[in-house]
């Protein structure tokens, strides 16, 4: 007849042990610093896109998660410093295995990964992220493309410049602005899209 | 030097040499690089191309040859007896030399592979990996040029990437004969450029390059394909895709009767680009720009997707296939029993579709009223095709591309090869360059296609072809020195006469050509302009010809075919040709028409054709895109474009060119649609599957009876008065043809539309070179700038279907007719005139009064 009370005893004892349950989603816990989360398409310091639509990330991807279509920049409508930019850029998060091979392939360091992991959804459509969703938000000093070259006369100035000043990118690992940008993004109530 | 017997019985001198320790025997004159290839040894190369003359421009193919002080370029060195060659595989000297050259080539190369179209399929990228140094020692500034430079509207040049291999310039000089691109400057500034009025081309763009003839080549797209780096790229494809995105399918050109092998690259359900395939017997590795760049015609918003039927109240509404097929079947059955139904297939059908139309007409509609010709034609042509085209193929002695190339002399009649059969033109030109082929062309003036093949013009007034050919066939000394040369040339062994479809419009022309061939022993071949024409002849889309080249009039042939098809009998009365069918439809003798891909504007009198189709009781249209016929049809049945179906074309040689589906969309072929209509009519046509049709065609019992060659008299030549002229006309390769729709960059290299007159005729009407000349009939008028050409007097030439010059539609007539010509004398104003034909003759512009200018602008607008 002490059996039921014994059961309470187990509960009672556990109440005073340290517990492992996360208070998610009320409280987000930081991941390991190099956690492979959602991708970011970074910008040059003036807001132009770093991505040149080369598709090397798509080529490298073992899961065929990336779809890119290049397009022509014109002097009137410029998205990236050179002749070519990504007219269409999509990552399908139902396919992505977060291996990071795309990041290694990217020749312009446009594509990096954030620590963002909230990627559950109930529709296929919403899990195919478009370029607008993937692009890093505009930081102070950045201007929404299309706009003319602001940091030099040609793309070379951008690339040479990038060696000294890699630019800041919201969500990019180890960027000084990472924290503030995350806050901004949180305030906007979505995963960092501009 | 050894002499060995080769397989084909010819005695060939050979030499024996050693490459990388392997002894090999090759024909004398073989290049070391080819001999190595034959052994499976790949020597890196850029400038070497088997179809271009050796240049030794890039130096990448260096190999060590024993006894030579320095490494030698294997692409220019011929094999000699006892030669000992060591390639990079066995010789450190060769390897080091190749690495050194690669380092040199990369010094000024921007290494922008990520944004370069060639990345992923680039010989420079690949060979830099396989035969280059692993790192670069070059730290200085690279040479920079503004990019891209427009070679034409379709071809862009990034000079920084160029390795100066000169493949492109050699192509333009040796193959196309259009000097549209060449080496310029010297030393480190040496670069590829285009000729233009501006001496230096910095920052120059397309607008200035399309202004005149010289930079417009119909073959410029080939340079994109052979450029071994990404220096030449296509405007249309630029940045749109990567080699690894593309699914490549071999296919066949549907734009002309050449039967060129092509490769279609598609990505996610849409075609991104087309390349030349390789077929040494047909197009070698070259295709025309039309074949390469015109492939979006089915992508417009006018593509028909759903069947349509016309309601009682006269409106067309979209409906289901089952309803449309039922309406079509019932309507056709009723029309068949109430006067009969005619079938017009159009010239773009595949062999399978043509066969289905032919069988449908005979079996389901019980008629021989079927014709594929939507262009000027004649009963003489019908007879000629039955005798000289039907059933002819390379397997039974038909003329082939190779025969043409090797012929000592070729006579063209009613055929402007460059405009109407572009790959044939390249062979003619190659024959002239390599084998001394002598080209003679019977036409009013020496077009670029004749000049570039070093051809001799036999000038005629349109309609005078028959007389000239008869004269060549006779014993009398020819009417002129050129004709005399031609008279003896066609009598040489292996001479070939090629007649085009336009000769059908000349009374007695085809008969005279047949006579000339018979008397001289020259071989005769018919070269139509459209891809489907030749196949339609063999498939029996002619009123007097059943499938398999059997004449309708031949009882045994009919019985044979009827039993093969499992039907009781076949209609025995010869049918009506296109023109007769249209007359019959207009007068109510025909109760219905089945119309395939027909644009009334291609017929000699479009207005009359439209009236006939409006008058006919029941019109069924099998169409790809919306247009005049579908809008006036009782039932519209959408069919598949060439990319979305499997099938085959017969090219002008009679060679069967089979292609497979590129994009699987579920769109139905004409043959399958006809099969379904027949099903609804309770008749089993058996044309649902192209493979089955091909098997059925191949299984047709052989038939030997040949109809007699035609012998029609020549007509009296018209005698135009002053202010009149005989009209000459043919199509430009790039014009308003509907298959070139949605190819914006292609249109930029179309030749400008001009009126051509002889100097004397121009003087007679008081027009100077460049003046606006109006050519008119009582139907309408065409006004274009004048180009004075060496041609017979009182002959006027117009492009048949170019911007500002839709001859049949506007003038309601065709070549051979007498038209009025006049001018207001003024030279044209710069900038006057519309379409891509502008710029021609702009240099002659004088200030000639604003009134004139305004009037020109107005009339040009009306004419379009
Ligand atoms: S992380 Fe891996 S799987 Fe995901 S997109 Fe990049 S390469 Fe593809
Ligand atoms: S993200 Fe990087 S690798 Fe991918 S297309 Fe853009 S530039 Fe190329
Ligand atoms: S443009 Fe291309 S084909 Fe022409 S010379 Fe340069 S590398 Fe050779
Ligand atoms: S391939 Fe021999 S020199 Fe270019």
- A132 among annotated binding-site residues: no
Gap from CA of A136 to ligand 1 centroid (Å): 18
Are the C-beta atoms of residues B257 and B291 closer than 8 Å to each other? no
Residue where the block lists tokens 């959804």:
A121
Instruction: Place B168 in a pLDDT band, splitting at 50, 70 and 90.
Output: very high
Mean pLDDT of A95-102: 96
Instruction: Place B7 in a pLDDT band, splitting at 50, 70 and 90.
Output: low
DSSP letter, residue A64: -
Gap from CA of B163 to ligand 4 centroid (Å): 11
The predicted pLDDT at position A157 comes to 86
Mean pLDDT of B570-590: 95
Q: Which ligand is nearest to the CA of B166?
A: 3
Are the C-beta atoms of residues B458 and B412 closer than 8 Å to each other? no
Q: Do B239 and A56 touch (CB under 8 A)?
A: no
Are the C-beta atoms of residues B777 and B805 closer than 8 Å to each other? no
Mean pLDDT of B312-335: 96
Count residue pairs from A and B with Cβ separation < 8 A.
36
pLDDT over threshold 60, residue B206 = no
> In chain A, what residues touch B147 (CB-CB under 8 Å)?
83
Instruction: Place A172 in a pLDDT band, splitting at 50, 70 and 90.
Output: very low
Instruction: Place B143 in a pLDDT band, splitting at 50, 70 and 90.
Output: confident
Instruction: Place B833 in a pLDDT band, splitting at 50, 70 and 90.
Output: very low
Give contacts of B 154-173 with A, CB under 8 A: none
Mutate to test the interface with B, among A49, A61, A69 (most CBs of B within 10 A): A69
Instruction: Place B276 in a pLDDT band, splitting at 50, 70 and 90.
Output: very high
The CA angle B782-B785-B786, to the nearest 5 degrees, is: 105
Q: Helices B509-520 and B465-473 meet at what angle, rounded to 10?
A: 20
Other residues' Cβ atoms within 10 Å of the Cβ of residue B517: 23
| B739/B179: higher pLDDT | B739
- A169 among annotated binding-site residues: no
Query: Regarding beta strands B496-500 and B409-413, do their DSSP bridges make them parallel or antiparallel, or are they unpaired?
Result: parallel
Residue B263 and residue B272: Cα distance in Å, rounded?
11
Instruction: Place B47 in a pLDDT band, splitting at 50, 70 and 90.
Output: very high
Q: How far B822 CA lies from chain A's nearest CA (Å)?
A: 46
Are the C-beta atoms of residues B799 and B753 closer than 8 Å to each other? yes
Pocket of ligand 1 (CB under 6 A): A 60-61, 63, 65-66, 91, 96-102
* Residue in chain B lying closest to A73 (CA): B239
Are the C-beta atoms of residues A101 and A62 closer than 8 Å to each other? yes
> In chain A, what residues touch B112 (CB-CB under 8 Å)?
82
B604-627 pLDDT, tens digit each: 899 999 999 999 999 999 999 999
Gap from CA of B193 to ligand 3 centroid (Å): 10
Atom of ligand 3 minimally distant from the CA of B183: 5
Q: Where does B221-268 have alpha helices with state H?
A: 221-226
The predicted pLDDT at position B345 comes to 96
Please give the radius of gyration of chain A, using alpha carbons only, rounded to the nearest integer: 21
pLDDT over threshold 50, residue B852 = no
> In chain A, what residues touch B244 (CB-CB under 8 Å)?
55, 59
Gap from CA of A32 to ligand 1 centroid (Å): 19
Question: Domains of chain B, with CATH numbers?
Answer: 13-115 (3.10.20.740), 145-293 (3.30.70.20), 308-375+534-698 (3.40.50.740), 381-528 (3.40.228.10), 724-857 (2.40.40.20)
Q: Is B669 in the pocket of ligand 4 (CB under 6 A)?
A: no
The predicted pLDDT at position A186 comes to 55
Query: Regarding beta strands B618-623 and B635-638, do their DSSP bridges make them parallel or antiparallel, or are they unpaired?
Result: parallel
Q: Where does B521-605 have alpha helices with state H?
A: 533-539, 555-565, 578-586
- A149-163, B238-252, B606-620: range with lowest mean pLDDT: A149-163
Q: How far A184 CA lies from chain B's nearest CA (Å)?
A: 33
Are the C-beta atoms of residues B13 and B81 closer than 8 Å to each other? no
Q: Which ligand is nearest to the CA of B229?
A: 3
B487-498 pLDDT, tens digit each: 999 999 999 999
pLDDT over threshold 80, residue B152 = yes
* Residue in chain A lying closest to B141 (CA): A156
Instruction: Place A15 in a pLDDT band, splitting at 50, 70 and 90.
Output: confident
**Candidate from A58, A59, A84 with C-beta closest to B115:** A84
For a pLDDT cut of 70, what percent of chain B falls above it? 92
ipTM comes to: 0.81
Mean pLDDT of A26-37: 89
Atom of ligand 1 minimally distant from the CA of A36: 1
Are the C-beta atoms of residues A113 and A38 closer than 8 Å to each other? yes
Mean pLDDT of B799-809: 94
Mean pLDDT of B412-420: 96
Q: What share of chain B is helix, strand, coil (3-state, %, to 5)?
A: 35, 20, 45
- A193 among annotated binding-site residues: no
For a pLDDT cut of 70, what percent of chain A falls above it? 84
The predicted pLDDT at position B216 comes to 73
Mutate to test the interface with A, among B110, B147, B157, B242 (most CBs of A within 10 A): B242
* Residue in chain B lying closest to A81 (CA): B115
| Residues of chain A in Cβ contact (below 8 Å) with chain B | 52-56, 58-59, 69-72, 82-84, 107-108
pLDDT over threshold 50, residue B204 = no
Atom of ligand 3 minimally distant from the CA of B181: 4
Are the C-beta atoms of residues B445 and B797 closer than 8 Å to each other? yes
- A57 among annotated binding-site residues: yes
- A143-157, B186-200, B830-844: range with lowest mean pLDDT: B830-844
pLDDT over threshold 80, residue B5 = no
| B851/B229: higher pLDDT | B229
Give strand ranges (E) for B213-280. 232-234, 247-252, 261-267, 270-276
Other residues' Cβ atoms within 10 Å of the Cβ of residue B25: 14
The predicted pLDDT at position B252 comes to 97
Q: Do B242 and A59 touch (CB under 8 A)?
A: yes
In angstroms, how far is CA B507 from the centroid of its own chain?
26
Are the C-beta atoms of residues B192 and B157 closer than 8 Å to each other? yes
pLDDT over threshold 50, residue B327 = yes
> In chain A, what residues touch B119 (CB-CB under 8 Å)?
54
Q: Do A70 and B240 touch (CB under 8 A)?
A: yes
CA torsion through residues A95, A100, A101, A107, sign: positive
Q: Is B609 in the pocket of ligand 3 (CB under 6 A)?
A: no
Mean pLDDT of B548-555: 90
For a pLDDT cut of 90, what percent of chain B falls above it? 81
Q: How far B540 CA lies from chain A's nearest CA (Å)?
A: 46
- A138 among annotated binding-site residues: no
The predicted pLDDT at position B864 comes to 35
Q: Is B56 in the pocket of ligand 4 (CB under 6 A)?
A: yes
Q: How far B114 CA lies from chain A's nearest CA (Å)?
A: 5
pLDDT over threshold 80, residue B451 = yes
- A175-184, B7-16, B608-617, B756-765: range with lowest mean pLDDT: A175-184
Gap from CA of B55 to ligand 4 centroid (Å): 7
Mean pLDDT of B682-693: 94
pLDDT over threshold 90, residue B499 = yes
Q: Is B46 in the pocket of ligand 4 (CB under 6 A)?
A: yes
Give strand ranges (E) for B337-484. 341-344, 370-371, 409-413, 438-443, 456-459
Q: Do B115 and A69 touch (CB under 8 A)?
A: no
Mean pLDDT of B243-247: 94
Mean pLDDT of B158-177: 94
Mean pLDDT of A40-69: 95
B616-660 pLDDT, tens digit each: 999 999 999 999 999 999 999 999 999 999 999 999 999 999 999
């Amino acid at each position: 007849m002490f059996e039921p009370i014994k059961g309470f005893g187990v509960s009672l004892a556990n109440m005073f042990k340290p517990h492992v349950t996360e208070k998610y989603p009320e409280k987000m816990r930081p991941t390991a610093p190099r956690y492979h989360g959602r991708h970011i398409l970074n910008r040059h310091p003036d807001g132009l896109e770093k991505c040149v639509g080369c598709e090397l990330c798509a080529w490298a991807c073992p899961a065929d998660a990336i779809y890119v279509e290049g397009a022509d920049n014109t002097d009137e409508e410029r998205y990236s410093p050179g002749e070519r930019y990504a007219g269409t850029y999509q990552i399908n998060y139902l396919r992505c295995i977060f291996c990071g091979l795309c990041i290694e392939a990217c020749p312009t360091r446009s594509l990096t990964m954030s620590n963002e992991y909230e990627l559950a959804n109930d529709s296929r459509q919403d899990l195919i992220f478009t370029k607008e969703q993937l692009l890093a938000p505009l930081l102070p000093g950045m201007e929404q493309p299309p706009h003319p070259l602001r940091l030099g006369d040609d793309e070379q100035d951008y690339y040479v410049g990038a060696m000294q000043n890699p630019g800041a990118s919201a969500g990019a690992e180890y960027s000084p602005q990472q924290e503030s940008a995350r806050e901004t993004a949180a305030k906007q109530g979505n995963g960092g899209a501009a | 030097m050894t002499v060995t017997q080769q397989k084909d019985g010819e005695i060939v001198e050979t030499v024996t040499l050693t490459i990388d320790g392997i002894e090999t025997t090759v024909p004398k004159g073989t290049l070391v690089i080819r001999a190595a290839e034959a052994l499976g040894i790949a020597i890196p190369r850029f400038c070497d191309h088997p179809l271009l003359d050796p240049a030794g421009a890039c130096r990448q193919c260096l190999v060590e040859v024993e006894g030579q002080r320095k490494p030698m370029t294997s692409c220019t060195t011929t094999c000699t007896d006892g030669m000992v060659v060591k390639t990079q595989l066995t010789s450190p000297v060769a390897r080091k030399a190749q690495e050194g050259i690669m380092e040199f080539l990369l010094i000024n190369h921007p290494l922008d592979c990520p944004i370069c179209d060639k990345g992923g399929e680039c010989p420079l990228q690949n060979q830099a990996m396989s035969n280059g140094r692993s790192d670069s020692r070059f730290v200085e500034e690279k040479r920079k040029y503004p990019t891209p430079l427009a070679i034409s509207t379709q071809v862009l040049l990034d000079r920084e990437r160029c390795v100066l291999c000169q493949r492109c310039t050699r192509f333009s000089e040796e193959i196309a004969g259009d000097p549209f691109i060449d080496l310029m400057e010297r030393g480190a500034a040496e670069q590829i450029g285009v000729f233009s009025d501006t001496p230096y081309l910095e920052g120059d763009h397309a607008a200035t390059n399309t202004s005149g003839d010289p930079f417009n080549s119909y073959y410029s797209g080939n340079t994109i394909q052979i450029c071994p780096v990404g220096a030449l790229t296509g405007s249309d494809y630029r940045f749109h895709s990567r080699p690894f995105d593309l699914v490549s399918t071999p296919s066949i050109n549907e734009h002309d009767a050449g039967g060129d092998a092509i490769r279609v690259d598609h990505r996610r359900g849409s075609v991104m680009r087309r390349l030349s395939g390789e077929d040494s017997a047909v197009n070698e590795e070259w295709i025309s720009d039309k074949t390469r760049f015109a492939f979006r015609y089915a992508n417009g918003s006018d593509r028909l997707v759903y069947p349509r039927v016309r309601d009682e109240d006269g409106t067309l509404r979209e409906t289901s296939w089952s309803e449309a097929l039922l309406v079509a079947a019932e309507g056709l059955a009723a029309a068949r029993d109430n006067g009969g139904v005619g079938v017009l297939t159009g010239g773009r059908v595949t062999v399978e579709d043509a066969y289905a139309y032919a069988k449908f007409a005979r079996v389901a509609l019980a008629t021989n009223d079927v014709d594929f010709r939507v262009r000027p034609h004649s009963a003489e042509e019908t007879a000629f095709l039955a005798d000289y085209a039907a059933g002819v193929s390379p397997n039974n002695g038909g003329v082939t591309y190779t025969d043409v190339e090797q012929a000592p002399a070729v006579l063209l009649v009613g055929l402007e090869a460059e405009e109407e059969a572009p790959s044939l033109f390249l062979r003619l030109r190659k024959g002239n360059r390599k084998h001394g082929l002598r080209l003679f062309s019977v036409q009013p003036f020496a077009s670029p296609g004749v000049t570039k093949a070093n051809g001799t013009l036999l000038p005629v007034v349109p309609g005078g072809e028959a007389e000239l050919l008869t004269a060549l066939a006779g014993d009398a000394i020819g009417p002129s020195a050129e004709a005399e040369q031609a008279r003896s040339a066609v009598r040489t062994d292996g001479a070939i006469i090629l007649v085009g479809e336009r000769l059908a419009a000349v009374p007695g022309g085809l008969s005279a050509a047949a006579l000339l061939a018979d008397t001289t022993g020259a071989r005769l071949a018919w070269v139509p302009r459209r891809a489907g024409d030749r196949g339609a002849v063999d498939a029996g889309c002619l009123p007097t010809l059943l499938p398999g080249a059997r004449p309708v009039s031949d009882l045994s042939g009919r019985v044979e075919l009827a039993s093969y098809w499992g039907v009781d009998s076949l209609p025995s009365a010869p049918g009506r040709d296109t023109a007769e069918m249209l007359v019959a439809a207009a007068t109510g003798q025909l109760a219905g028409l089945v119309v395939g891909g027909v644009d009334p504007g291609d017929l000699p009198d479009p207005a009359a054709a439209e009236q006939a189709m409006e008058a006919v009781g029941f019109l069924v249209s099998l169409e790809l895109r919306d247009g005049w016929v579908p809008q006036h049809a009782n039932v519209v049945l959408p069919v598949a474009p060439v990319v979305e179906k499997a099938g085959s074309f017969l090219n002008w040689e009679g060679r069967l060119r089979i292609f497979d589906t590129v994009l699987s969309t579920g769109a139905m072929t004409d043959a399958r649609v006809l099969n379904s209509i027949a099903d609804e009519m309770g008749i089993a046509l058996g044309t649902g599957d192209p493979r089955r049709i091909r098997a059925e065609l191949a299984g047709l019992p052989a038939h030997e009876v040949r109809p007699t060659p035609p012998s029609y008299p020549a007509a009296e030549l018209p005698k135009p008065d002053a202010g009149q002229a005989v009209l000459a006309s043919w199509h430009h390769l790039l014009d308003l043809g509907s298959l070139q729709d949605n190819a914006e960059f292609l249109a930029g290299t179309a030749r400008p539309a001009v009126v051509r007159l002889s100097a004397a005729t121009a003087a007679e009407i008081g027009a100077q070179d460049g003046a606006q000349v109006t050519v008119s009939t009582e139907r309408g008028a065409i006004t274009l700038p004048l180009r004075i050409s060496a041609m017979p007097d009182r002959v006027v030439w117009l492009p048949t279907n170019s911007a500002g010059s839709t001859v049949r539609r506007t003038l309601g007539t065709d070549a051979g007719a007498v038209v009025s010509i006049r001018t207001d004398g003024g030279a044209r104003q710069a900038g006057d005139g519309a379409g891509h034909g502008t710029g021609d003759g702009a240099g002659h512009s004088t200030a000639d009064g604003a009134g004139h200018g305004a009037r020109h602008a107005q009339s040009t607008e009306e004419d379009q």
